[in-house]
């Protein structure tokens, strides 16, 4: 029976560390690290995410600015808001909450964020630095998964990792991070032939697809570590991941639940990234 990796407890530890680092920053520079979040429209899920980020900032001693714009905001106005935050010396991190309304070019907005303030790590320059291994910040969810594995004491070097999902936000950057840990990596996706066969070879099996219970118990190798990044809402309103949790936990050595697994780590790593970006910017000015 698998040991459950408690993402809530681990995220609380990371937020506590971020709070100590934020306090150190404040003592050194006379202000708190600053995060600005822009949200356009009233998407309910986005509203919840933004509130959670704001609460986390307050708990960590990070100054949080939430800029709420109406759903009919034009691309030009949004880009002007981003440009103003790029120039704001009190703002160390900028996050534009996705999705954006139709008519706004997501790539143009992401590219407008100053790379040094891109705490989501979506900017093409930062993605390139991640690819080369020469980076300061890593995307929040992928780096959260890596922290879960490290803090649980799971050996990654030399292990076979199967990544199910190749999105630009999670799958691809996490694959890069696992390669950096010297895993032997296979990336699976919708065109993969015999997904079950690939998954059953994994010492570390990670799914980030967004399909309820895609990973069944017979796809899990005995003793594997199973990381479920997917979050899906069922017809009855309950949440489940990409993994059939009850079946998989009988074979895995470690497994993350949904909810309460990877999810809390994403916001915790955002706090870490904001503080890191703040220190990096001030240290650059001091040189």
- Residues labelled catalytic: 53, 97, 120
Burial degree of 248 (CB within 10 A; 0-12, 13-18, 19+)? buried
Structure tokens belonging to residue 170: 């999670």
Do 207 and 230 touch, CB atoms closer than 8 A? yes
Which residues are paired to 66 by β-bridges?
Answer: 37
- Closest C-alpha among 136, 206, 134, 211 to residue 174: 206
Q: 């503080």: which residue's tokens?
A: 275
Half-sphere exposure of 200 (CA within 13 A, CB side): 8
- Closest C-alpha among 125, 117, 208 to residue 167: 208
Do 242 and 255 touch, CB atoms closer than 8 A? no
Distance, CA of 103 to CA of 91 (rounded, Å): 27
Whether the bond into 99 is cis, omega within 30 of 0: yes
Do 194 and 224 touch, CB atoms closer than 8 A? no
Do 264 and 7 touch, CB atoms closer than 8 A? yes
Backbone angles phi, psi at 118, to 5 degrees: -85, 80
Do 53 and 270 touch, CB atoms closer than 8 A? yes
Is the dihedral angle over the CA atoms 50, 124, 144, 27 positive or is it negative?
negative
């Amino acid at each position: 029976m698998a040991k459950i990796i408690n993402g809530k407890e681990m995220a609380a530890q990371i937020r506590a560390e971020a709070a100590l680092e934020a306090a150190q920053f404040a003592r050194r520079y006379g202000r708190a690290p600053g995060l600005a979040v822009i949200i356009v429209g009233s998407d309910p899920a986005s509203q919840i995410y933004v509130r959670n980020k704001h609460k986390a900032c307050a708990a960590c001693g990070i100054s949080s600015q939430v800029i709420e714009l109406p759903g009919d905001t034009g691309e030009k106005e949004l880009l002007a808001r981003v440009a103003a935050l790029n120039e704001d010396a009190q703002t160390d991190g900028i996050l534009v909450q996705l999705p954006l309304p139709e008519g706004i070019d997501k790539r143009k907005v992401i590219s407008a964020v100053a790379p040094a303030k891109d705490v989501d790590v979506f900017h093409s320059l930062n993605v390139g630095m991640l690819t080369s291994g020469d980076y300061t910040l890593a995307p929040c969810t992928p780096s959260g998964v890596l922290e879960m594995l490290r803090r649980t004491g799971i050996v990654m070097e030399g292990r076979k990792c199967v990544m199910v999902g190749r999105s630009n936000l999670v799958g691809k950057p996490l694959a890069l991070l696992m390669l950096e840990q010297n895993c032997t990596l296979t990336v699976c996706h919708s065109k993969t032939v015999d997904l079950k066969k690939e998954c059953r070879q994994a010492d570390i099996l990670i799914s980030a697809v967004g399909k309820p219970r895609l990973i069944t118990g017979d796809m899990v190798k005995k003793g594997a570590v199973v990381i479920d990044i997917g979050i899906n809402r069922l017809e009855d309103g309950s949440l489940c991941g990409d993994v059939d949790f009850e079946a998989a936990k009988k074979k895995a050595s470690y497994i993350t639940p949904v909810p309460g697994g990877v999810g809390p780590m994403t916001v915790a790593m955002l706090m870490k990234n904001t503080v890191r970006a703040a220190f990096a910017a001030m240290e650059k000015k001091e040189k």
